Structure 1
């Protein structure tokens, strides 16, 4: 395709790396919040160097390194490719010690985790937090945020082969749902208190079990729908535990300028200190993009899947 020129309030990035997200797989499959209008772009997160700016944009940005904050719609923008035009408002920065692959693996996962756990739930020392889909990049990011705030992170995975790797990443406990009684193990780990926070991207029938692991007046965040089957409402746990069920999506932060600034400052500070460190699970070349998506569909990854542009 021809190299696109940036329009007003846009820049063109020469991409160094871009990351894959579940949102993009759902969009590809027709299960996302928005539907594609063909020909459609794809991709939220990338790192690269600005090589051109549109009218009204500071020309001193040319030659500088940025990454993208996913505050745009696939109906207008996308970062899969060697170059991408994005709004200047979507530009983010990351610490110099991170690689381009790590730089492309920041905002989606950490904004999602920070917004729910810190901005809303005020996760604190002695809190137990249950993290389903523990090998996903967002769950790993959430684990790091929980640990940074002094809480206890409990990972939940279906794959026993991932348990050792997840513990080595920093989870305090990992429950293998295929082999263990989730409610019993959660009760043991929390000394009967239950988890104050559930951070769930899966939903489906699993919500009934997870709701039973919560503490009294706990909060259950639903931030994804990896299980496309119907999600029942957990009536009895919700009533008996005075449980709050809360839908969450990180664009909620974009409606509050002060909250968004706090989120960006928090994430950059902890990235700089090394408290947060993006986990890159596997790197593909651009001509392997279909294979990269198939790998994401396999659920075998631990951390972010990234495409590196040579």
Structure 2
């Protein structure tokens, strides 16, 4: 493919012609110009050039929402947006329309997913068409539709990367999974089962107790009414869990680690509780602060994670739980409202 053909106008996108200026391509994207609630999200026209060297342009068909995006929009993420006009979004699935010079792994027509290893204030995928570096794109699982693909990569690569590659989860291990009804939590239950481990799902209220059981979790602890440490001890015959996979942090992280066997491993991948993280004195203890975006920058990890996800999806061991699907970028604010309500189970997806 020549550079000129890679940079040709994108099929289906609109063009604007300025007085005496070269024609440019525009597309729709969700931006925000101030920090705040879901109401700050606006659908706007943005310029869209062809992909440069090492870049992939793909048409977005579905977008998977993540808690990090709500935090970023509100100014509470670990890095802050550049305003006005910040983009947003880690996770999307679609079809390649053009590639830049030097790209060899992808070609027009390929079904792909965003690898969520970029600054989403710059490369955010809430849009009709997006351009990402080749290293931020992965093949979609064979035979998966766009909604399934948009709900797969970040949740399942986080579960696989955190529990298996970082934590060393092995067959027969008990793993305590907090926020078990979240997108990553439901993926973690399925991932643990695929590995042959024993998931212990922890969720706050009775209303969400049944979902982990339906996913195959043999044990569920309802933390509003049950003692986490005592229940984990009872389930494991007094030994404690081999691993905790935690999305919450805060003072409760110490309680989760108290439920571990001596010498156990804690992997913390989120801070839903924004208070300082408390460390357990249940020593010896190994603690990993897991960053999926950093690990996903490694080509070898992306390849291994994609193979794990693809094989699990093909066998039926992995199947993303879709909480609700919203149709159109204009529904993005509504999707964010549902995400912040904490009433859903699984992944929220917006189709484009």
Q: 1:84-128 CA distances to partner (integer Å, 9 max, x unpaired)?
A: 222222221223432211111122112211112111222122211
Q: 1:90 to 1:96 in 2, by over 3 A?
A: same
Q: Indicate conservation of the 8 Å contact 2:135/2:297, yes or no.
A: no
Take 1:33 and 1:147, find their aligned partners in 2: how far apart are those partners?
A: 31
Q: Indicate conservation of the 8 Å contact 2:171/2:195, yes or no.
A: yes
Calculate the aligned-residue CA RMSD, in Å.
Answer: 1.9
**Number of residue pairs matched by the alignment:** 305
Q: Indicate conservation of the 8 Å contact 1:40/1:75, yes or no.
A: yes
Offset of 1:41 from its aligned partner? 0.8
Equivalences for residues 100-179 of structure 1 within 5 A = 100-179=146-225
Unaligned stretches of 5+ residues in structure 1:
none
SS of the residue corresponding to residue 314 of structure 2 reads: helix
Q: Which moved more, 1:59-68 or 1:272-281?
A: 59-68
Question: Which of 67, 71, 76 in structure 1 is aligned with 2:122?
Answer: 76
Q: Which moved more, 1:80-89 or 1:221-230?
A: 80-89
Whether 2:340 is the aligned partner of 1:294: answer no
Equivalences for residues 26-45 of structure 1 within 5 A = 26-38=71-83, 39-45=85-91
Question: Which of 285, 292, 297 in structure 2 is aligned with 1:250?
Answer: 292
Q: Which moved more, 1:242-251 or 1:51-60?
A: 51-60
Offset of 1:83 from its aligned partner? 1.7
The residue that corresponds to 1:13 in the other structure is 58
Moved >6 Å (runs of 4+): none
Take 1:257 and 1:51, find their aligned partners in 2: how far apart are those partners?
A: 22
Take 2:296 and 2:94, find their aligned partners in 1: how far apart are those partners?
A: 23
Q: 1:207-256 CA distances to partner (integer Å, 9 max, x unpaired)?
A: 1221221111100111111001222232x32x3xx111211111342464
The residue that corresponds to 1:308 in the other structure is 351
- Say which one has the larger Rg: 2
Offset of 1:262 from its aligned partner? 2.3
Take 1:102 and 1:255, find their aligned partners in 2: how far apart are those partners?
A: 23
Take 1:132 and 1:253, find their aligned partners in 2: how far apart are those partners?
A: 21
Take 1:258 and 1:18, find their aligned partners in 2: how far apart are those partners?
A: 25
Take 1:56 and 1:95, find their aligned partners in 2: how far apart are those partners?
A: 24
The residue that corresponds to 1:280 in the other structure is 322
Offset of 1:52 from its aligned partner? 2.9
